[in-house]
Structure 1
Amino acid sequence: MKIAFLIDAFPVLSETFILNQITGLIDRGHEVDIFARNHRDSLEMHPDVRKYRLDGICTYLSHPPKNRSTCITAYLYLLFRLTIRHVGIFHLLAEMLRTRNMKELFGLTYTLAPILGKSYDIIQCHYAKNGLSGIHLKKLGCNAKIVTMFHGHDIRAGLDDNDIPYRDLWRYGDCFLAISEYTRDKIIGFGADPTSIVYLPVGIDTSCFPLRSDSRPSENNTDGIRLISVARLVPDKGLSYALSAIRRVLEKLPGVEIEYRIIGDGPLQESLLNQVHELELENIVTFVGGKAQPSVRKELEASDIFLLPSTAEVLPVSLMEAQSIGLPVIASDVGAVREIVVDGRSGYLVPQGDPQHIADHLIKLISQRKNWKEMGRTGSAHIAAHFDIKHLTQRLEHIYTGLSTNISPASLNEQSK
């Protein structure tokens, strides 16, 4: 099959779930192209970007020229191209008359023009915004099946704004992929037809995060505790609650040595550094910055407990990676996190925004060193059974094949259970 991925930016270190789908489909013999709205520069790059030479199959979509005369010339040329190809010209003109928003419609069409000149079986859109762009392509004459996968950003946006214009997405989209039951319930609440939704979680390559084989930690280990979080430095990740919790643990257990490493970057770094200073945690907390997958794996292997104190999540991949490698975890009970954590067996779920509960469960884990290894095994087995990307890619391929032969999403959802 010929498959196009329509995404926001490429490459993005924190979006390994998209990268895993792309490389998995390539491994299975499919022809894949990537269309990204923005290029994301990074000091580190996921090794698969180079291994699969993904830069060579990625097209960066252009924004309309800002110069007025150049812009008018570009729009006239675009109109000419659409006319000679008999592609969507009547739809575009009708939409212009209906909405009287010529600039926005031409701008979107200009951006998506590189996709219009190609033929695909599937256009996989990550995030609702790109799903709406896929619908615009369909109205312009694109014959591909439009598949949209919803993520946490889409759910939060829908909950914050009841007027988000998803109506065309529900009406013209061919299939919607829900990464969790939580996601499915929410997009139904936003107006999606339940029969158009297929459950397909994101996952990880468990072979890249194998259960660590060392005997550490042991019941008699009296070394310090290394805590770790892998998260963007943004409000939703709740890292300030983790910092407050660590201060409380130190006050309760003054003899315990704790090191806390935070992998990730983002706009809250200065604010979090200030909090570290106020709580006198400068010798305990280290902000490591954004890291590629091999570096993240090494950090996890050298750690004891994983913290994810988020106030909003859907299905966090970092939590899968930590459990796959064998770390006991403490995570907020938000979104679909309880689909990843086996509460009480692979880690503990705590109420969101509550540093005292985080501290209490940290103290509990510190006193239960002898249970860490079994908790790690339980978590690793759970991730392998439910979130291994190789199995999930097979399911994604099955969904695409079914859609291309006009099997309904409802039937595909039943077959995937």
Structure 2
Amino acid sequence: MSGRPIRALFIVPLLKAGGAERHLTTVLPRLDPARFTPSVVCIGAEGELFDELRAAGIAAKALYLRKRQAVRALRELMAIIRHESPDVVVVSGYNAETLGRLAARLAGVRHTIMWVHNASEITPRSVVHRTVDRALIRWTSGYFGVAQVQRRFLVDERRYPADKVRIIHNGVDPELFDVTTDREVLADCGIGVDGPVVGILGSLRPEKDHETFLRAARLVLDELPEAKFLIVGDGACRSALVTLCGELRIASSVHFAGARGDVGRMLRAMDVFAMTSTTECLPMALLEAMACGRPAVCTAVGGVVEVIEDGATGYLVPPKDPARLAARLIGLLSDPDTAHRMGREGRRRVETEFRLDHSVAAAQLAIEELVTAEYARTGGVNA
């Protein structure tokens, strides 16, 4: 490497306001510039978080290409790779996993890393996708995950070599999150500031199962009619969820805030954070909520169980069980002392176990080990 920083090119579908994308936009600006020179290519549009990278001084560009333009995307990615001559290409996201690794291989980059943010097949992979994925195993240097639960998925289900899998927990910077409660944002959203608030943060997609959240809200309101429910995020399921609110007669107690850039501010307006996903990896939203000192009630899926200490920092409940979720929410909303204690313990857990600087340090070391080992073996020559 001749003592220069490692040139790392990250290829993603787009930088929308999702957990995997927030992970990228928090980690890259923290990479040590003496050790890494990162850059990013979005195959599709820029996305809501794109400007954050640019503002942090990370070179980023978007190709604005769609799925049916895969051949063109492959050609353009190859051209970018040949021009930038990265030491490693890191891919994340459905189409980036295939096109990014293919482009890296065809452009002569030996080292590629696939950073996986799911613990199950949320979208069924086509035969072509699976076939290409299997063929690329030989040319993929490492598979990074963010939760220990992914080992079974990556090794047993996807059949990636166990010695190529590394788990690097997500992390957040607790110093960026305030533990005080601030209801001012509720007034900005047109919500009354009185009454307890339960919030959920995530894209409105089927696997996030906001339907269970709303059905639990109906049960909570039967006991605590002054409660309010804040849904932060947007997506394809919004219309159906609005309709369900009407059917459950809870529309006046539920507010859809849409996608927001002020996540910390929204979290500070909540008394309790909830997550109802049927599948998760290690959700950034949960870490951010805990960093804000919010007690969490979440479904016991994926890496969520690696974060929440049941009964200490929050509660774990079964997926698709509105009654159990509602019971835990009512318990915390009715017992502010317990809620505050759990919130404090959650903040402490983030500070000790899930700090962003720990995550960045682990990522830097893992990438360096893969790249420098390869360069030592080949004498610095890509093939």
TM-score by length of 2: 0.84
Q: Name the structure 2 match of 1:234.
A: 205
Q: Which residue of 1 aligns with 2:63?
A: 61
1:288 corresponds, among 257, 262, 265, to 257
8 Å CA contact 1:260–1:284 kept in 2: the answer is: yes
The aligned runs of 1:253-268 (5 Å cut-off) are: 253-254=223-224, 256-268=225-237
Q: Which residue of 2 aligns with 1:211?
A: 179
1:379 aligns with 2:346: yes
One-letter amino acid matched to 1:247: R
Whole-angstrom distance in 2 between the partners of 1:326 and 1:344: 15
Q: Once the 2 structures are TM-superposed, how far is the Cα of residue 13 of structure 1 from its aligned partner? A: 5.7
Q: Per-residue displacement from partner, 1:109-138 (whole Å, max 9, x unpaired)?
A: 344322222211221111354233343234
Work out the CA distance in 2 between the residues paired with 1:380 and 1:139.
43
| 1:107-256 correspondence to structure 2 within 5 Å | 108-127=74-93, 129-152=95-118, 155-157=121-123, 164-165=130-131, 166-189=133-156, 190-212=158-180, 224-251=195-222, 253-254=223-224, 256=225
Partner of 2:302, secondary structure, is: coil
For 1:61, the aligned partner's letter is: L
CA contact (8 A) 2:271 2:333 kept: no
- In our comparison, the structure showing a higher alpha carbon Rg is 1
Please say if residues 61 and 112 of structure 1, whose CA atoms lie closer than 8 Å, have aligned partners that are also in contact: no
Q: Aligned to 1:297, what secondary structure does the other structure show?
A: helix
Mark the CA change 1:52 to 1:137 in structure 2 (over 3 Å): closer, same or farther.
same
SS of alignment partner, residue 343 of structure 1: coil
| Bigger mean CA offset, 387-396 vs 343-352 | 387-396
TM-superposed CA distance for 1:168, in Å, is 2.1
Shift of 1:212: 3.3
- Matched-pair contact (CA < 8 Å) for 1:6–1:130: yes
Cα distance 1:334–1:35, how it changes in 2: closer, same or farther (>3 A)? Answer: same
The one-letter amino acid of 2:113's match is: V
Aligned to 1:52: 56
- Which segments of 5 or more consecutive residues in structure 1 lack a partner in the other structure? 67-102, 215-222, 409-417
Asked if residue 4 in structure 1 is aligned to residue 6 in structure 2, the reply is no
Cα RMSD, aligned residues only:
2.8
**Structure 2 CA distance for aligned equivalents of residues 346 and 63 of structure 1:** 43
Percent sequence identity over matched residues?
23
The letter for the 2-side match of 1:146 is T
Deviation readout 1:290-321 (Å, 9 max, x if unpaired): 001xx211111121000111112111110110
Give the structure-1-normalised TM-score.
0.78
The match for 1:388 is 355
Question: Residue type of the partner of 2:254?
Answer: V
Q: 1:278 aligns with which of 226, 241, 247?
A: 247
* C-alpha separation in 1, matches of 2:278 and 2:181: 33
3-state SS, counterpart of residue 149 of structure 2: helix
Contact 1:203-1:388 at 8 Å conserved across structures: yes
Q: How many residue pairs align between the two structures?
A: 355
Q: Relative to 1, partners in 2 of residues 1:184 and 1:407: Cα closer, same or farther, differing over 3 Å?
A: farther
Tell me, yes or no, if structure 1 residue 32 matches structure 2 residue 38.
yes
Residues 209 and 282 (structure 1), Cα distance of their counterparts in 2 relative to 1, 3 Å cut:
same
- Quick check: 1:370 aligned with 2:337? yes
- Do 1:155 and 1:183's aligned partners in 2 also have CA atoms closer than 8 Å? no
Cα separation, partners in 2 of 1:144 and 1:210, compared to 1, 3 Å: farther
